[in-house]
Amino acid sequence: MGRRARGRRLQQQQRPEGVEDGAEGGGKRSEAGWEGGYPEIVKENKLFEHYYQELKIVPEGEWDQFMGALREPLPATLRITGYKSHAKEILHCLKNKYFKELEDLEVDGQKVEVPQPLSWYPEELAWHTNLSRKILRKSPQLERFHQFLVSETESGNISRQEAVSMIPPLLLNVQPHHKILDMCAAPGSKTTQLIEMLHADMSVPFPEGFVIANDVDNKRCYLLVHQAKRLSSPCIMVVNHDASSIPRLTIDVDGRKEVLFYDRVLCDVPCSGDGTMRKNIDVWKKWTTLNSLQLHGLQLRIATRGAEQLAEGGRMVYSTCSLNPIEDEAVIASLLEKSEGALELADVSAELPGLKWMPGVTQWKVMTRDGQWFADWADVPHSRHTQIRPTMFPPKEPEKLEAMHLERCLRILPHHQNTGGFFVAVLVKKSSMPWNKRQPKVQGKSLETREATQLSTATPTEGKPVDALEPESQLVTGTGDSEITTPENLENNENKKDGVCGPPPSKKMKLFGFKEDPFVFIPEDDPLFPPIEKFYALDPSFPRMNLLTRTTEGKKRQLYMVSKELRNVLLNNSERMKVINTGIKVWCRNNSGEEFDCAFRLAQEGIYTLYPFINSRIITISMEDVKTLLTQENPFFRKLSNETYSQAKDLTKGSVVLKYEPDSANPDALQCPIVLCGWRGKASIRTFVPKNERLHYLRMMGLEVSGEKKKEGVALTEDSTATTELPEDGLGEELRAEEAGLPDATPGCDPTAPDPPR
């Protein structure tokens, strides 16, 4: 008998009677316990209670409600993406179909609570529900609702996001022309909100503003890319830097280089997370004040760096999911003090009517891990100076403290509106930071006229922050702070090609994670573009200079597009920042494309951006045609309406745009426009649309996903009667493809799959 077997037998002999296998340490597992036999985590932490009772952040008489709320599970919340043209249709579908089905539903003898809108979120676009995943699987109606949520989340039409996490982007008050920096962006739920706000007017394919979303963790950057890609925006760039030393970027303005200052900065810093106890129950046993003491310095450096890069008149939101003043008011007070009037707290009390919050505190104390309190820096013994810093204490002078208006900070307590705990402060920049009263200037020739670009020195590696008091004038050219040209740099400059934005040189910056492919803009004289322009009859206003690829050699497989503002950022800063991803895919090469008039077909990911510039190969289709095209692999012309056939029969084989226009005279029909990528074959038409997007459009037209999943597709029902099989995402069977005259699939260019991680 082996050692492990003997150990198991000994445990069984020692186990009390009546205790089931896998339930040791906690008796028979209760309903609230963990599955798999783990002992239940006790939601108690005496030090936590002692600390916050002493600081009095909870109003008198509400402590029991506060602790009671922390011990309850957090309600699930979802947000309908506001900039998509069919947001109203999704809201209508939710309210009039799924929520109505839940009104009189009972599960295990208990009435199901219908989801409710968040009172403070505009236009009823955010909802919360107490339905757990366990309950969602107990009823066919709830299962359909659950499938709807999962599918719409994958399509980018719904975001499952904690309620308090939605607050910072709302308080930024973003306009479509704003340049935005999201300093600690992963996993990306707030970033997607910012993108939506840029695209408030869907008739404008390229807003003037953009979002640069940064995260220090290379792997989390790819999660961020996945979130942002669902919204198909040409105005988002994901970069990978330590936020406390994020490089200062430059842009070309009328032939001269200028420092890029942001109109809005979101500073959602890493924190101890004691406001997340309702969902991260590990915090209960791991919480100590040491976490806050260790994070305070990093939080202050990140906030300082954000304030440095904020434009005068701009707005910065600082937020944490912690209730601790050391991470909250102490950081804000220290930042305000060192700004010497350059920053001030904005009064946002009236900006989110319906939101309940507590004003920021003006007095607090510092407690060590072992429970020792300090009310003043002067009381801290020298041995504690590495752990406790003077910036952790409130200002001594009453006049200075009063002038800061710390009461304008917002602290969200869990028991007030059944949410997580949260802290948010809104700062406005009135003038340059005191260590740089003059705006930084960058010497340099025009982007168009220069032949070589000096490479900046190394960016500080991860975890090596910039000194908070470093002069802005020294930060103009990146966090290396001064430009040094070496023979090696000159050699690199000579080899640099115009329009090629590669990753930073490995000797200049310590890179982590994957090495990114370069971003190569298509030259004006590239022979690749005229056939595309002619085939799709592109409008003269089409910004061809914004097209890029991710390869410098061989055939260009995929073409991406960015806004002209992001193009400017890319071309001027490729050596000082690590770009993970930017641009949306607009065209894909067919292997057999030369047989047709154009080697590139349209990609669904970028069709809403591209469509306003296309004047040819557009087929207007009816709602019945949409259903047919999305539920059948390659429907023959005879299965489509006469109007559609008459438009398609005269077109040559190749990529087409399929456009559905809503009929205002028929209110029961789908009331949002739909644009699909398709292929006109020999005798049929097919669509290149990802499966989740197909499901989305079909749901909006009254078809529903059933629980039955088949090998070749997903069974759908309309009014619980007819069933249809949804085609697979691939290009179809070889014989069907040959009959339809379909293009060959390009390796690595799946028409419906998202880009692989780079």
Say whether 268 counts as a known binding-site residue.
yes
What is the pLDDT, as a whole number, of residue 485? Answer: 31
Say whether 184 counts as a known binding-site residue.
yes
Structural domains of the chain, count: 3
The model's confidence at residue 586, banded by pLDDT at 50, 70 and 90, is very high
Judge if 85 and 131 occupy the same domain: yes
- 71 or 693: which leads in pLDDT: 71
Indicate whether 199 belongs to any domain: yes
The reported pTM is 0.81
Residue ranges of alpha helices (H) inside 63-139 are: 63-70, 87-93, 99-102, 133-136
Q: Of the given ranges (275-279, 584-588, 739-743), which has the lowest mean pLDDT?
A: 739-743
Indicate whether 438 belongs to any domain: no
Indicate whether 737 belongs to any domain: no
Torsional sign, CA 58, 60, 65, 68: positive
> Annotated catalytic, 321?
yes
Encode pLDDT of 456-486 as tens digits: 333 333 333 333 333 343 333 333 333 333 3
Percent of the chain with pLDDT over 90: 53
Indicate whether 256 belongs to any domain: yes
Cβ contact 516:551 at 8 Å: no
Encode pLDDT of 600-643 as tens digits: 999 999 998 999 999 999 999 998 999 999 998 889 988 999 99
The residue from 93, 267, 271, 321 that is catalytic is 321
What is the pLDDT, as a whole number, of residue 593? Answer: 54
Judge if 282 and 146 occupy the same domain: no
Judge if 209 and 343 occupy the same domain: yes
pLDDT at 11 over 80: no
- Provide the token pair at 10: 């000994």
Judge if 87 and 199 occupy the same domain: no
Say whether 727 counts as a known binding-site residue.
no
pLDDT at 253 over 70: yes
Say whether 501 counts as a known binding-site residue.
no
What is the pLDDT, as a whole number, of residue 284? Answer: 93
Judge if 198 and 93 occupy the same domain: no
Judge if 323 and 263 occupy the same domain: yes
Which amino acid belongs to residue 504?
P
Encode pLDDT of 286-316 as tens digits: 999 999 999 999 999 999 999 999 999 999 9
Judge if 177 and 216 occupy the same domain: yes
The domain spanning residue 252 has which CATH number? Answer: 3.40.50.150
Judge if 177 and 273 occupy the same domain: yes
Say whether 187 counts as a known binding-site residue.
yes
Percent of the chain with pLDDT over 70: 76
Say whether 242 counts as a known binding-site residue.
yes
Judge if 169 and 155 occupy the same domain: no
Domain that holds residue 148: 76-160
CA dihedral 267, 271, 274, 276 (to 10 degrees): 60
What is the pLDDT, as a whole number, of residue 247? Answer: 94
The model's confidence at residue 7, banded by pLDDT at 50, 70 and 90, is low
Cβ contact 564:575 at 8 Å: no
Among residues 433, 454, 489, which one ends one of the domains? 433
Among residues 135, 160, 185, which one ends one of the domains? 160
Mean pLDDT, the chain, whole residue set: 79
Judge if 215 and 318 occupy the same domain: yes
Judge if 220 and 354 occupy the same domain: yes
Q: Other CB atoms closer than 10 Å to residue 396's CB: what's the count?
A: 10
What is the pLDDT, as a whole number, of residue 498? Answer: 57
The model's confidence at residue 62, banded by pLDDT at 50, 70 and 90, is very high
* Average of per-residue pLDDT across 62-83: 90
Q: Tell me how far apart the terminal alpha carbons of the chain are, to the nearest angstrom.
A: 50
* Average of per-residue pLDDT across 204-213: 92
Indicate whether 668 belongs to any domain: yes
Give the long-range contacts of residues 296-300, CB within 8 A, separation 24 or more.
Answer: 296/326, 296/327, 296/330, 296/331, 296/389, 296/391, 296/392, 297/389, 297/391, 298/244, 298/269, 298/270, 298/465, 299/269, 299/270, 299/271, 299/327, 299/331, 300/331, 300/334, 300/335, 300/391, 300/468
| 49 Cα distance to chain centroid | 34
